[in-house]
Structure 1
Amino acid sequence: MNAPDAPASKGLRPKAKRPQGLRLSLVTRWSALIATLLAVGILIAIWLEHLLPNQPWAVFAICLVCVVPIAIITIRSQIQPILSLFRALEGTVTSYRDGDFSFSLHWQQNDELSDLIAAHNDLGNVLREQRLDLVQRELLLDTMVQNTPVAMLLVADFAASRGTIVYANAAARQLLADGRKLEGRQLRDLLEQAAPALSEALGRGGDGLFTAGEGEDEEVYHLARSSFSLNGRKHELLLLRHLTVELRRQEVQTWKKVIRVISHELNNSLAPLASLAHSGAELVRRGQTERLPQILETIGERTRHLESFILGYARFAKLPTPRIETCSWDAFVKRLASQVQFRAGDALPAEPAQFDPAQMEQALLNLLKNAHESGGKPERVELHIRRTQDAIRIDVLDRGHGMSEAVLTNALVPFYSTKRSGTGLGLALAREIAEAHGGRITLANREGGGLAVTLILPVTQPLNQA
């Protein structure tokens, strides 16, 4: 009798092997069994016919009494292993559903059921390998999450700073609970014990920076948040990154760069001034005053250049709050055209503009000046102003050399410049002005060469207006 075998076997296994030898299909085996039972019945009937002539009903009855029990016992002996196999299959499928893939089956016969068992075992091996790979990935991910310096909080049913914390990494536990467990606690209760700045940052919504502490204990953090649905419930992932050390390091590097740029410019101006002053004093001593006007003019020119340089830094450092006014686009563009050459694009928006005209003029003059210095032809510099659905889009276009990826990444950073005599303040000042108006600035290389600098300004009046 062939019976299934369901041993518990842990670990990975090779592909299941089918029984070797003569292959007899289920149809062949059962056809042979039925033919054998019929032959036995016929032989018994013939034998009884000789013993009991002219008694057909007796022969029929005796045949039934003899053949039926034999058929039942034989068929039962063949079906019982199959039924046991089905029960074993049901058990392994239940184990698979529960996440246990350590079971496999064995069928001794070489028939269709052996093919089924082999496929079933192959499925178990694949699921077992996938489960092991998934466990290893989860372990790797958990190790990375637990060791990252970014505090991570996963909050369920997040609404108005309420919700249950379902996951927190080591950095979050250390930052918010002195290393204690956070899972299961209410975010609202946790925020009552945390710095008020964190509650305010969460209440504002969106990503952003906030500062906790005062004076020397001031700490800067960046809050990032992302919402998604998990198992039909709203979840929010909160990421808190400590930026104090990084910002201080960047601040030191920025100051060093500022000092280096200013020192370079001062040396370039003061050294010629000292030389010219010495030359002037020597000419006066000799009584040769005919060259003094030229020397004094050169000194005045260098002094004005140095003053313009210092004022550029001061203007960037002390950018006032925009004084929003209603301005006509026609008058504004004409005023720009009187100071720098450019080609206007399509028709200007009919609605008047809402911005600080002095600051916006300064920003666009910087952008147009950069466009003229890009290496393209001056007549190819263009200014396009158009109204979109909820914003004003201002494009300054040129056909110069464009920017590399590295320069595009850093072009808006203050004091970053690829020009030998550049201060790195033109684009940075334009960015400050755009953001002060509630807008933004973007840079992109144009197809066919050149650069496109785009100012996006909101149509609605900004909140930080004067």
Structure 2
Amino acid sequence: MAGRGIRLSLLTRWSALLATLLTLGILIALALTRLFPGQPVLVLAICLLAVIPLATITIRAQLEHILSLFRALTGTVTSYKDGDFSFSLHWAQNDELSDLVAAHNELGRVLREQRLGLVQRELLLDTMVQNTPVAMLLVSEGGHIVYANIAARQLLNQGRKLEGNRLNDLLDQSAPVLREALARGGDGLFTVDSSDTPEGEGEDVYHLARSSFNLNGRKHELLLLRQLTQELRRQEVQTWKKVIRVISHELNNSLAPLTSLAHSGAELVRRGQTERLPQILATIEERTRHLESFILGYARFAKLPSPRLEQHDWKAFIARLADQVAFTLTGDLPDEAACFDGAQMEQALLNLLKNAHESGSPSDGVSLDVQRVQGMLRIAVQDRGPGMSDTVLANALVPFYSTKRSGTGLGLALAREIAEAHGGRIMLANRDGGGLAVTMILPVLTAC
């Protein structure tokens, strides 16, 4: 805290003090010279005996205050180092040291506010972590649990404390599927049978996510277990509702004309006017085939069998594909044969290539590229259409989602289902210069 009054710098005050002491010494010397004329040595001795103790006492008194301030500064800095920012200092003089004390006190105030903010944020974060429905476990390299929230304690130890326990010991008392999910490594879904518990409803679906990082120089792993049962059930209901709406709409669009055509045919037969019957029957056949194709499309998606893996030569496979749909092959095909279900992969690529043509892309802008990169197969279908908006990109792989007026929303969803059945994934991205790229990433299997 700065002192009150006129500001005097340290240099000014010490200069004034030394000047005062020097003046006092000169006056004492002049007085002694008159008392002891002709004896300079005696005058000098008496003068030194009088001035030196007085100067020592005066300077020591001044320095004692400064040294006391330095000791206080050392103590508060040590307290800051220990995390205690509650101290402040006072200096009565209005000089450079008062500025130092003011800056020091301001630093303490800022540190106190920062500490209070950190404590409040830590409290908020801990409250959020503890009350989140996601079970969180922080496990050390040795397998001991370092941190666990309420959801994790309820899931693994009936609400009791988990810190300090070994994760493997707790897993021995848990559901086998949980142990298997953790043993497999990586992220994934698993299902726990909860029918034996009082609140169980048959099966609970969990998503396991894990990540490793270094904490205080040691490797730790964060495990997140999220129950998805309710969300999946809600999503399942919404999906079924959408399926029913789509099927009902398609059935109504097909059955209404069929009913009208059948009635018209019956009237013509009754009147004996049979010349239009072939046209009516052809229309009925066309609508029936469309309806059959529509229903079979849903059936294929709902009942996709497990892939029957076989070795396929890329040149022969691409040639069969080219006989059914037009595209430009970019790059060289891999020399090694690939292991996949030929029928399913052909269906997936036909859907993707058909979508590329229907996007509005020029025919010569639809291309297929097959590469083997870092132990993975990369199959890309590209076009030069308008691409997709962010909203469409986010929903394009969702079953039954379609922006086409007559689309079923199954083409991309079926391609994704086939890719995932082969242990891969599918990605969508807009291309530079316009167009869309749909890429299937599949693992390279050494044997079928």
Deviations 1:275-331 (A, max 9, x none): 333333333333333333333322222222222222212211222222222222222
**Alignment root-mean-square deviation, CA:** 2.1
Counterpart position of 2:182: 202
**What pairs up with 1:51-62 in 2 under 5 angstroms?**
51-62=35-46
Shift in alpha-carbon separation, 1:386–1:354, aligned structure 2, 3 A: same
Identical aligned pairs, as a percentage? 76
Moved more, 208-217 or 46-55: 46-55
Counterpart position of 1:6: none
Counterpart position of 1:33: 17
1:123 corresponds, among 85, 103, 107, to 107
Moved more, 30-39 or 195-204: 30-39
Cα shift at 1:407: 1.1
Indicate yes or no: 2:321 matched with 1:341. no
Moved more, 185-194 or 100-109: 185-194
Indicate yes or no: 2:439 matched with 1:459. no
Counterpart position of 1:350: 335
SS in 1 for 2:276: helix
How far apart, CA to CA, are the structure 2 residues paired with 1:23 and 1:455?
78
**What pairs up with 1:44-193 in 2 under 5 angstroms?**
44-157=28-141, 162-163=143-144, 165-193=145-173
Counterpart position of 1:449: 434
How far apart, CA to CA, are the structure 1 residues paired with 2:273 and 2:364?
48
How far apart, CA to CA, are the structure 2 residues paired with 1:353 and 1:231?
46
Shift in alpha-carbon separation, 1:300–1:233, aligned structure 2, 3 A: same
Counterpart position of 1:3: none
Tell me which amino acid in the other structure corresponds to 1:157. E
How far apart, CA to CA, are the structure 2 residues paired with 1:71 and 1:166?
64
TM-score normalised by structure 1 residue count = 0.89
Cα shift at 1:31: 2.1
Deviations 1:353-408 (A, max 9, x none): 33222211111100011111112222321222223232222221112222121111
2:193 corresponds, among 192, 209, 213, to 213
Counterpart position of 2:251: 266
Higher relative contact order (CA 8 A, sep 6+): 1
SS in 2 for 1:290: coil
2:3 corresponds, among 12, 15, 19, to 19
User: Unaligned stretches of 5+ in structure 2?
Assistant: 196-200
User: Unaligned stretches of 5+ in structure 1?
Assistant: 1-16
Tell me which amino acid in the other structure corresponds to 1:279. S
SS in 1 for 2:213: strand
How far apart, CA to CA, are the structure 1 residues paired with 2:176 and 2:372?
40
SS in 2 for 1:67: helix
How far apart, CA to CA, are the structure 2 residues paired with 1:211 and 1:132?
44
How far apart, CA to CA, are the structure 1 residues paired with 2:166 and 2:233?
34
Counterpart position of 1:14: none
TM-score normalised by structure 2 residue count = 0.93
Counterpart position of 1:405: 390
Indicate yes or no: 2:311 matched with 1:326. yes
Tell me which amino acid in the other structure corresponds to 2:151. A
How far apart, CA to CA, are the structure 1 residues paired with 2:312 and 2:150?
54
SS in 2 for 1:452: strand
Tell me which amino acid in the other structure corresponds to 1:395. A
Indicate yes or no: 2:399 matched with 1:414. yes
Aligned pair count? 443
How far apart, CA to CA, are the structure 2 residues paired with 1:376 and 1:257?
29
Moved more, 378-387 or 421-430: 378-387
Cα shift at 1:214: 5.5
Counterpart position of 1:396: 381
How far apart, CA to CA, are the structure 2 residues paired with 1:426 and 1:325?
23
How far apart, CA to CA, are the structure 2 residues paired with 1:458 and 1:182?
39
How far apart, CA to CA, are the structure 1 residues paired with 2:30 and 2:439?
105
Cα shift at 1:63: 2.7
Deviations 1:217-267 (A, max 9, x none): 211111111221111122222211111011011111111111222222222
Counterpart position of 1:228: 213
Moved more, 241-250 or 185-194: 185-194
Counterpart position of 1:4: none
How far apart, CA to CA, are the structure 1 residues paired with 2:141 and 2:364?
58
Cα shift at 1:78: 0.6
SS in 2 for 1:448: coil
Tell me which amino acid in the other structure corresponds to 2:423. G
How far apart, CA to CA, are the structure 1 residues paired with 2:267 and 2:19?
135
How far apart, CA to CA, are the structure 2 residues paired with 1:214 and 1:46?
108
How far apart, CA to CA, are the structure 1 residues paired with 2:203 and 2:218?
36
Cα shift at 1:273: 2.6
SS in 1 for 2:172: helix
The answer to whether the 8 A contact 2:400-2:410 is kept is yes
How far apart, CA to CA, are the structure 1 residues paired with 2:320 and 2:218?
57
How far apart, CA to CA, are the structure 1 residues paired with 2:106 and 2:445?
64
Cα shift at 1:410: 0.9
Cα shift at 1:210: 1.0
Counterpart position of 1:42: 26
The answer to whether the 8 A contact 2:2-2:93 is kept is no
Deviations 1:66-107 (A, max 9, x none): 222112111111111111111111121122122222221111
How far apart, CA to CA, are the structure 1 residues paired with 2:194 and 2:114?
52
How far apart, CA to CA, are the structure 2 residues paired with 1:290 and 1:134?
88
Indicate yes or no: 2:283 matched with 1:298. yes
Indicate yes or no: 2:336 matched with 1:361. no
Tell me which amino acid in the other structure corresponds to 1:176. L
SS in 2 for 1:340: coil
How far apart, CA to CA, are the structure 2 residues paired with 1:409 and 1:424?
14
